[in-house]
Amino acid sequence: ATAVETLQLEAVSKDGTRVPYFVTRQQGTKNGPTLMYAYGGFGIPVLPTYQATAGVAWLERGGMYVEANIRGGGEFGPAWSNVARKAGRLKAYEDLEAVADDLYRRGLARPEQLGLLGRSNGGLLVGNMLARSPHRFGALVGEVPLLDM
């Protein structure tokens, strides 16, 4: 894709923690269909990357791609990851909801335009969004989710 930009923004989670996320879009795109990806587990970081297939198939057609750095992931070391384990697991889900709400507050997306994609542990996130807050998303795609935990 040509003329692509990535913004780093922050949402504020339920407990006041600032949760960074990245928005990748064609320059000049103000809002529109948005695909969000998150993982939030096992200390694995989600970092901004350019995927050629997403660029041609999505960004060049006016879509935006969001990567959320929710707690549980390894973006900011063990403390960031460990706080969303065991009894703190709900923090990852609250972080994801905060990112969605921040996209709406900034006018970047609307619930009917926001899709959430997650694989494996990210699929578990998708399942939780289906149970906790389906009104925040127009589409939910969980690939190989671990839902029977």
**pLDDT tens digit sequence for 130-146:** 999 999 999 999 999 97
The model carries a pTM of: 0.94
**pLDDT tens digit sequence for 89-104:** 999 999 999 999 999 9
Query: What separation in angstroms does the CA of 54 have from each of 57, 60, 66?
Result: 5, 9, 12
- Asked if 99 and 136 touch (Cβ cutoff 8 Å), the reply is no
* pLDDT confidence band for 1 (50 / 70 / 90): low
pLDDT at 149: 66
pLDDT at 63: 94
Closest listed residue to residue 23, CA positions, set 7, 1, 47, 12: 7
**What string of DSSP letters covers the chain?**
--SEEEEEEEEE-TTS-EEEEEEEEETT--S--EEEE----TT--------HHHHHHTGGGT-EEEEE--BTBSTT-HHHHHTTSGGGTHHHHHHHHHHHHHHHHTTS--GGGEEEEEETHHHHHHHHHHHH-GGG-SEEEEES-----
**pLDDT tens digit sequence for 4-60:** 899 999 999 999 999 999 999 999 899 999 999 999 999 999 988 777 767 778 898
Supply φ then ψ for residue 141, to 5 degrees: -125, 110
80 has pLDDT over 90: yes
